[in-house]
Protein backbone atom coordinates (compact mmCIF):
# COMPACT_ATOMS: atom_id res chain seq x y z
CA UNK A 1 0.00 0.00 0.00
CA UNK A 2 1.43 3.35 -0.98
CA UNK A 3 0.42 6.92 -0.28
CA UNK A 4 -1.01 8.97 -3.09
CA UNK A 5 -2.24 12.54 -2.67
CA UNK A 6 -5.99 12.61 -3.23
CA UNK A 7 -8.49 15.43 -3.04
CA UNK A 8 -9.83 14.80 0.47
CA UNK A 9 -9.98 16.71 3.70
CA UNK A 10 -7.80 14.12 5.44
CA UNK A 11 -5.12 14.28 2.72
CA UNK A 12 -5.18 18.07 2.98
CA UNK A 13 -4.45 17.94 6.70
CA UNK A 14 -0.93 18.26 8.05
CA UNK A 15 0.67 14.99 9.10
CA UNK A 16 0.91 15.86 12.79
CA UNK A 17 -2.84 16.51 13.05
CA UNK A 18 -3.79 13.53 10.89
CA UNK A 19 -1.62 11.29 13.08
CA UNK A 20 -3.22 12.71 16.23
CA UNK A 21 -6.70 12.16 14.81
CA UNK A 22 -5.93 8.56 13.86
CA UNK A 23 -4.26 8.00 17.24
CA UNK A 24 -7.41 9.25 18.95
CA UNK A 25 -9.51 6.74 17.01
CA UNK A 26 -7.08 3.90 17.65
CA UNK A 27 -6.87 4.98 21.31
CA UNK A 28 -10.64 4.61 21.68
CA UNK A 29 -10.42 1.10 20.24
CA UNK A 30 -7.68 0.21 22.69
CA UNK A 31 -9.26 1.88 25.71
CA UNK A 32 -12.75 0.42 25.38
CA UNK A 33 -14.07 -3.09 24.93
CA UNK A 34 -17.70 -2.18 24.68
CA UNK A 35 -18.89 -3.50 21.29
CA UNK A 36 -20.99 -0.39 20.65
CA UNK A 37 -17.95 1.85 20.97
CA UNK A 38 -15.78 -0.48 18.90
CA UNK A 39 -18.45 -0.61 16.22
CA UNK A 40 -18.71 3.19 16.29
CA UNK A 41 -14.96 3.49 15.78
CA UNK A 42 -15.04 0.86 13.02
CA UNK A 43 -17.85 2.72 11.29
CA UNK A 44 -15.92 5.99 11.64
CA UNK A 45 -12.74 4.55 10.15
CA UNK A 46 -14.51 2.88 7.22
CA UNK A 47 -16.58 5.99 6.47
CA UNK A 48 -13.48 8.18 6.78
CA UNK A 49 -11.62 5.89 4.36
CA UNK A 50 -14.45 6.16 1.85
CA UNK A 51 -14.64 9.93 2.28
CA UNK A 52 -10.88 10.15 1.75
CA UNK A 53 -11.13 8.11 -1.46
CA UNK A 54 -9.13 5.20 -0.09
CA UNK A 55 -12.01 2.79 0.47
CA UNK A 56 -10.45 0.25 -1.86
CA UNK A 57 -7.19 0.30 0.09
CA UNK A 58 -9.10 -0.19 3.33
CA UNK A 59 -11.01 -3.03 1.73
CA UNK A 60 -7.76 -4.77 0.85
CA UNK A 61 -6.48 -4.30 4.40
CA UNK A 62 -9.77 -5.66 5.76
CA UNK A 63 -9.41 -8.76 3.57
CA UNK A 64 -6.01 -9.37 5.13
CA UNK A 65 -7.10 -8.61 8.70
CA UNK A 66 -10.42 -10.48 8.63
CA UNK A 67 -8.93 -14.00 8.83
CA UNK A 68 -6.79 -12.94 11.79
CA UNK A 69 -9.79 -11.36 13.53
CA UNK A 70 -11.85 -14.47 12.86
CA UNK A 71 -9.08 -16.71 14.16
CA UNK A 72 -8.91 -14.75 17.39
CA UNK A 73 -12.68 -14.84 17.72
CA UNK A 74 -12.65 -18.64 17.25
CA UNK A 75 -9.64 -19.44 19.42
CA UNK A 76 -10.70 -17.43 22.48
CA UNK A 77 -13.76 -19.60 23.33
CA UNK A 78 -11.62 -22.71 22.98
CA UNK A 79 -8.76 -21.63 25.21
CA UNK A 80 -10.68 -19.45 27.67
CA UNK A 81 -11.82 -21.17 30.83
CA UNK A 82 -13.86 -18.24 32.04
CA UNK A 83 -17.55 -17.40 31.78
CA UNK A 84 -20.53 -19.00 33.41
CA UNK A 85 -23.02 -19.31 30.56
CA UNK A 86 -22.08 -22.57 28.88
CA UNK A 87 -23.60 -22.86 25.43
CA UNK A 88 -21.82 -26.02 24.24
CA UNK A 89 -19.95 -28.87 25.92
CA UNK A 90 -17.07 -30.36 23.96
CA UNK A 91 -16.03 -32.98 26.46
CA UNK A 92 -12.51 -33.65 27.75
CA UNK A 93 -9.70 -32.57 25.44
CA UNK A 94 -6.10 -33.70 26.11
CA UNK A 95 -3.87 -30.87 27.35
CA UNK A 96 -6.75 -28.34 27.26
CA UNK A 97 -8.99 -30.13 29.72
CA UNK A 98 -12.81 -29.82 29.59
CA UNK A 99 -13.91 -27.94 26.47
CA UNK A 100 -16.89 -25.86 27.51
CA UNK A 101 -17.79 -23.05 25.16
CA UNK A 102 -19.22 -20.10 27.06
CA UNK A 103 -21.21 -17.17 25.79
CA UNK A 104 -18.81 -14.81 27.59
CA UNK A 105 -15.69 -16.28 25.95
CA UNK A 106 -17.34 -16.21 22.56
CA UNK A 107 -18.38 -12.60 22.98
CA UNK A 108 -14.96 -11.59 24.25
CA UNK A 109 -13.32 -13.36 21.31
CA UNK A 110 -15.53 -11.36 19.00
CA UNK A 111 -14.59 -8.15 20.81
CA UNK A 112 -10.87 -8.94 20.49
CA UNK A 113 -11.27 -9.74 16.78
CA UNK A 114 -13.19 -6.53 16.25
CA UNK A 115 -10.49 -4.57 18.02
CA UNK A 116 -7.78 -6.10 15.79
CA UNK A 117 -9.81 -5.20 12.73
CA UNK A 118 -10.21 -1.59 13.88
CA UNK A 119 -6.50 -1.18 14.63
CA UNK A 120 -5.47 -2.68 11.27
CA UNK A 121 -7.88 -0.37 9.45
CA UNK A 122 -6.55 2.64 11.36
CA UNK A 123 -3.04 1.67 10.24
CA UNK A 124 -4.25 1.20 6.66
CA UNK A 125 -5.92 4.61 6.71
CA UNK A 126 -2.68 6.11 8.00
CA UNK A 127 -0.64 4.47 5.22
CA UNK A 128 -3.05 5.57 2.50
CA UNK A 129 -3.89 9.08 3.63
CA UNK A 130 -0.98 10.53 5.60
CA UNK A 131 1.96 11.85 3.58
CA UNK A 132 5.05 9.83 4.66
CA UNK A 133 7.35 12.69 3.69
CA UNK A 134 5.47 14.98 6.09
CA UNK A 135 5.76 12.32 8.78
CA UNK A 136 9.49 12.07 8.08
CA UNK A 137 9.73 15.85 8.42
CA UNK A 138 7.83 15.62 11.68
CA UNK A 139 10.22 13.09 13.16
CA UNK A 140 13.41 14.48 11.66
CA UNK A 141 13.32 17.21 14.28
CA UNK A 142 13.59 14.49 16.90
CA UNK A 143 15.89 12.00 15.18
CA UNK A 144 16.47 12.70 11.52
CA UNK A 145 18.93 9.94 10.75
CA UNK A 146 16.77 7.22 12.30
CA UNK A 147 13.68 8.58 10.56
CA UNK A 148 15.37 8.70 7.17
CA UNK A 149 16.93 5.27 7.63
CA UNK A 150 13.54 3.84 8.50
CA UNK A 151 11.95 5.51 5.48
CA UNK A 152 14.61 4.32 3.07
CA UNK A 153 14.61 0.81 4.53
CA UNK A 154 10.84 0.65 4.03
CA UNK A 155 11.24 1.76 0.43
CA UNK A 156 13.94 -0.83 -0.19
CA UNK A 157 11.42 -3.65 0.28
CA UNK A 158 9.67 -3.17 -3.09
CA UNK A 159 13.06 -2.49 -4.71
CA UNK A 160 14.41 -5.80 -3.43
CA UNK A 161 11.26 -7.56 -4.59
CA UNK A 162 11.78 -6.12 -8.08
CA UNK A 163 15.46 -7.09 -8.02
CA UNK A 164 14.73 -10.67 -7.07
CA UNK A 165 12.03 -10.90 -9.76
CA UNK A 166 14.52 -9.61 -12.35
CA UNK A 167 17.17 -12.06 -11.20
CA UNK A 168 14.72 -14.95 -11.36
CA UNK A 169 13.78 -13.93 -14.92
CA UNK A 170 17.46 -13.83 -15.91
CA UNK A 171 17.95 -17.33 -14.52
CA UNK A 172 15.01 -18.54 -16.62
CA UNK A 173 16.79 -17.07 -19.65
CA UNK A 174 19.94 -19.16 -19.14
CA UNK A 175 20.47 -21.64 -21.91
CA UNK A 176 19.55 -25.19 -20.84
CA UNK A 177 22.68 -27.25 -20.29
CA UNK A 178 24.95 -24.23 -20.67
CA UNK A 179 25.95 -23.71 -17.04
CA UNK A 180 28.51 -25.71 -15.17
CA UNK A 181 26.12 -25.97 -12.24
CA UNK A 182 22.65 -24.53 -11.69
CA UNK A 183 22.31 -21.56 -9.39
CA UNK A 184 21.28 -22.60 -5.90
CA UNK A 185 18.75 -20.68 -3.84
CA UNK A 186 21.62 -19.47 -1.63
CA UNK A 187 23.45 -18.12 -4.69
CA UNK A 188 20.36 -16.22 -5.75
CA UNK A 189 19.85 -14.74 -2.28
CA UNK A 190 23.53 -13.75 -2.24
CA UNK A 191 23.19 -12.09 -5.64
CA UNK A 192 20.07 -10.15 -4.58
CA UNK A 193 21.86 -9.03 -1.42
CA UNK A 194 24.93 -7.93 -3.38
CA UNK A 195 22.71 -6.01 -5.78
CA UNK A 196 20.92 -4.36 -2.87
CA UNK A 197 24.25 -3.34 -1.35
CA UNK A 198 25.35 -1.81 -4.67
CA UNK A 199 22.10 0.08 -4.83
CA UNK A 200 22.43 1.19 -1.22
CA UNK A 201 25.88 2.61 -2.00
CA UNK A 202 24.39 4.61 -4.91
CA UNK A 203 21.59 5.91 -2.71
CA UNK A 204 24.11 6.83 -0.01
CA UNK A 205 26.14 8.80 -2.59
CA UNK A 206 22.95 10.62 -3.63
CA UNK A 207 22.20 11.49 0.00
CA UNK A 208 25.69 12.91 0.39
CA UNK A 209 25.44 15.17 -2.64
CA UNK A 210 22.01 16.38 -1.56
CA UNK A 211 23.60 17.76 1.58
CA UNK A 212 22.60 14.98 3.95
CA UNK A 213 26.07 15.03 5.52
CA UNK A 214 25.56 18.56 6.80
CA UNK A 215 22.12 17.98 8.20
CA UNK A 216 21.25 20.26 11.06
CA UNK A 217 18.11 20.62 13.11
CA UNK A 218 15.44 21.20 10.51
CA UNK A 219 13.67 24.52 10.52
CA UNK A 220 10.02 24.30 11.53
CA UNK A 221 7.71 24.17 8.55
CA UNK A 222 5.89 27.38 9.44
CA UNK A 223 2.91 26.37 7.34
CA UNK A 224 -0.25 28.27 8.29
CA UNK A 225 -3.00 26.16 9.82
CA UNK A 226 -5.59 25.33 7.20
CA UNK A 227 -9.31 24.89 7.90
CA UNK A 228 -8.73 21.13 7.66
CA UNK A 229 -5.86 21.21 10.14
CA UNK A 230 -8.11 23.01 12.58
CA UNK A 231 -11.12 20.77 11.93
CA UNK A 232 -9.21 17.51 12.38
CA UNK A 233 -7.40 18.88 15.44
CA UNK A 234 -10.77 19.79 16.96
CA UNK A 235 -12.07 16.35 16.02
CA UNK A 236 -9.10 14.64 17.68
CA UNK A 237 -9.64 16.69 20.85
CA UNK A 238 -13.36 15.89 20.79
CA UNK A 239 -12.67 12.16 20.38
CA UNK A 240 -10.19 12.24 23.23
CA UNK A 241 -12.67 14.17 25.39
CA UNK A 242 -15.45 11.73 24.60
CA UNK A 243 -13.19 8.83 25.54
CA UNK A 244 -12.11 10.51 28.74
CA UNK A 245 -15.69 11.40 29.61
CA UNK A 246 -16.83 7.84 28.95
CA UNK A 247 -14.07 6.46 31.14
CA UNK A 248 -14.85 8.83 34.00
CA UNK A 249 -18.60 8.39 33.67
CA UNK A 250 -18.33 4.61 33.23
CA UNK A 251 -20.35 4.74 30.01
CA UNK A 252 -18.15 2.29 28.19
CA UNK A 253 -18.22 -0.33 30.91
CA UNK A 254 -17.84 -3.83 29.59
CA UNK A 255 -17.12 -6.97 31.59
CA UNK A 256 -16.88 -10.22 29.76
CA UNK A 257 -16.26 -12.48 32.77
CA UNK A 258 -17.57 -14.10 34.78
CA UNK A 259 -20.86 -12.90 33.38
CA UNK A 260 -21.39 -10.63 30.42
CA UNK A 261 -22.03 -7.01 31.41
CA UNK A 262 -22.42 -4.67 28.46
CA UNK A 263 -25.03 -2.08 29.13
CA UNK A 264 -26.55 -0.78 25.95
CA UNK A 265 -28.87 2.13 26.62
CA UNK A 266 -29.39 5.61 25.27
CA UNK A 267 -26.14 6.78 26.86
CA UNK A 268 -24.03 4.20 25.01
CA UNK A 269 -25.87 4.79 21.76
CA UNK A 270 -25.41 8.53 22.16
CA UNK A 271 -21.71 8.00 22.88
CA UNK A 272 -21.33 5.88 19.73
CA UNK A 273 -23.20 8.46 17.69
CA UNK A 274 -21.06 11.25 19.11
CA UNK A 275 -17.88 9.37 18.22
CA UNK A 276 -19.02 8.86 14.62
CA UNK A 277 -20.14 12.47 14.30
CA UNK A 278 -16.96 13.88 15.84
CA UNK A 279 -14.79 11.71 13.60
CA UNK A 280 -16.63 12.43 10.36
CA UNK A 281 -17.62 16.07 10.68
CA UNK A 282 -14.26 17.38 9.36
CA UNK A 283 -14.96 15.60 6.06
CA UNK A 284 -18.06 17.74 5.50
CA UNK A 285 -15.91 20.71 4.57
CA UNK A 286 -14.67 20.09 1.02
CA UNK A 287 -13.19 23.50 0.34
CA UNK A 288 -9.52 23.55 -0.60
CA UNK A 289 -9.03 19.80 -0.48
CA UNK A 290 -7.16 19.48 -3.77
CA UNK A 291 -3.53 20.57 -4.15
Count residues binding other proteins (CB under 8 A): 62
- Please list, residue by residue across 201-222, b when 16 or more beta carbons sit within 10 angstroms of its beta carbon and e when fewer do: eeeeeeeeeeeeeeeeeeeeee
The alpha-carbon radius of gyration of the chain (Å, integer) is 25
Residue 216 sits in the site that holds other proteins (CB under 8 A): yes
CB of 152 to other proteins, least distance (A): 6
Residue 177 sits in the site that holds other proteins (CB under 8 A): yes
Phi, psi dihedral angles at 22 (to 5 degrees): -70, -35
CA atoms within 13 A on the CB side of 268: 17
Query: Cα dihedral angle (111, 116, 120, 122), rounded to 10 degrees?
Result: 50
CB of 18 to other proteins, least distance (A): 15
Whether omega before 288 lies within 30 degrees of 0, making that bond cis, reads no
Say whether 175 sits in a helix, a strand or coil: coil
Among 67, 91, 94, 217, binds other proteins (CB under 8 A): 217
Q: Which stretch binds other proteins (CB under 8 A): 26-34, 91-99, 200-208, 246-254?
A: 200-208
Pick the closer one to other proteins by CB: 91 or 178: 178
Among 145, 190, 286, 287, binds other proteins (CB under 8 A): 190
For residues 119 to 148, the per-residue mask of contacts with other proteins, x marking binding by CB under 8 A and - elsewhere, is: ------------xxxx-xx----------x
Pick the closer one to other proteins by CB: 93 or 149: 149
Contact 100, 89 (CB under 8 A): yes
Among 211, 250, 265, 266, binds other proteins (CB under 8 A): 211
In eight-state DSSP terms, residue 261 is B
Residues in CB range of 150: below 8 A, 6 or more apart? none
Pick the closer one to other proteins by CB: 68 or 189: 189
Residue 153 sits in the site that holds other proteins (CB under 8 A): no
- Residues in contact with other proteins by the rule CB under 8 A: 2-5, 131-134, 136-137, 148, 151-152, 155, 158-159, 166-167, 169-181, 183, 187-188, 190-191, 194-195, 199, 202-223, 291
Amino acid sequence: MTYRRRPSALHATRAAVACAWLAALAGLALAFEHPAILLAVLLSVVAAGCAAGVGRELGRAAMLAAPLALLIALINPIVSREGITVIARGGEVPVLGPLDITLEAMTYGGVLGLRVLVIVLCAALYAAAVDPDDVLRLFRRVGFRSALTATLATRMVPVLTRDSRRLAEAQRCRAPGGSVRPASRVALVRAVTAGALDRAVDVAATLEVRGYGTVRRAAPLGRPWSRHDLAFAASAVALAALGLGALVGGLGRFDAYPELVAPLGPAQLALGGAIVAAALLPFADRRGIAR
